[in-house]
Amino acid sequence: MKENNKKIALSGIQPTGTPHIGNYFGAMKQFVEMQDEFNLHVFVAEYHAMTTVQDKKTLKENIHNLILDYLAIGLDPEKVTLYRQSDIPELTELTWMFNCLVTVPWLERAHAFKDKSERGIEATVGLFNYPVLMAADILLPNSQIVPVGKDQIQHVEMAREIARKFNNTYGNTFSEPEEHVVESTQTVPGTDGQKMSKSYGNTIPLFGTDAEIKKAIMGIVTDSKLPEEPKNPDECNVFALHRLITPEPELSEIKKGYEDGGLGYGDSKKMLLKNYLAFITPMRAKRKYYEDNPGIVRQILDEGRTKIQAIGREKMKEVREKVGL
């Protein structure tokens, strides 16, 4: 893994289920684009996933599959430090130290906790404490940049506030991270028109089988306009996905078919399916390579763990001295 003087960027995804194309276009694609510009750290956020996944077999499978997915989308082990959250025990130690600085009313401000509680997710201490663990994820390896969607900006702000409070209490220890929001990243609509989300059951699996992908795409909700009727592409869930997947000049031809009339939703979905399968084929091949070579995957994770553990141990040595342990 090559060292450089680039800024450190960090992000992670929870292994809570099968990644979908909303995860890819909303976050994972950014990781690939950032790996040349930044010294990028990417981790599997299994501690965070434990707030919702509480079955051993399921969690282990999800972790394994997410690691393969990371590699399949194009993360280069020569450029990216890839690791598992649970391989860094210093994270939970630092989280406890941060817990002793933050207050309950301050944590109650978190939008994500309110949103999940209102949707019926059990309000465990882990879910409530999520922003503190996220702050430890960010601050322990000295991250400077955190790529997030607009709905996650608050968590980076909270990490910044925790860093500031620790520094004010014990002396300058942590740098204050900045969020990196890609404005061009759109909310990816699900098959029902809402934001694509596992919790809504409206996803198109990133690495599903042909049959699973076909079922999802052909099930996208549309209005009842006939093929010959003109349609507004900006109001169509199918066309919103075409914008992400279908290349030019075909994209413009499909748009014209909508606006002039003559292109039905059924045919539009078939075109989307064809283009999505072509888009995902190279990633599938790469994923199969890593799946068939577990030794290479283990080596990548070993190297990532070794690097982050060294950083974490050094930082925690400084932290322990400053708090008086």
Where in the sequence numbering do the catalytic residues fall?
A: 116, 195, 198
CA dist 11 and 40 (Å) reads: 8
Residue linked to tokens 């960027």: 9
CA dist 227 and 308 (Å) reads: 56
Residue linked to tokens 């934001």: 195
Phi, psi for 41 (deg, rounded to 5): -110, 125
Tokens coding 28: 């994972």
Closest CA to 8 of 320, 316, 307: 307
Tokens coding 220: 């996208």
CA dist 168 and 322 (Å) reads: 12
Residue linked to tokens 């992400």: 244
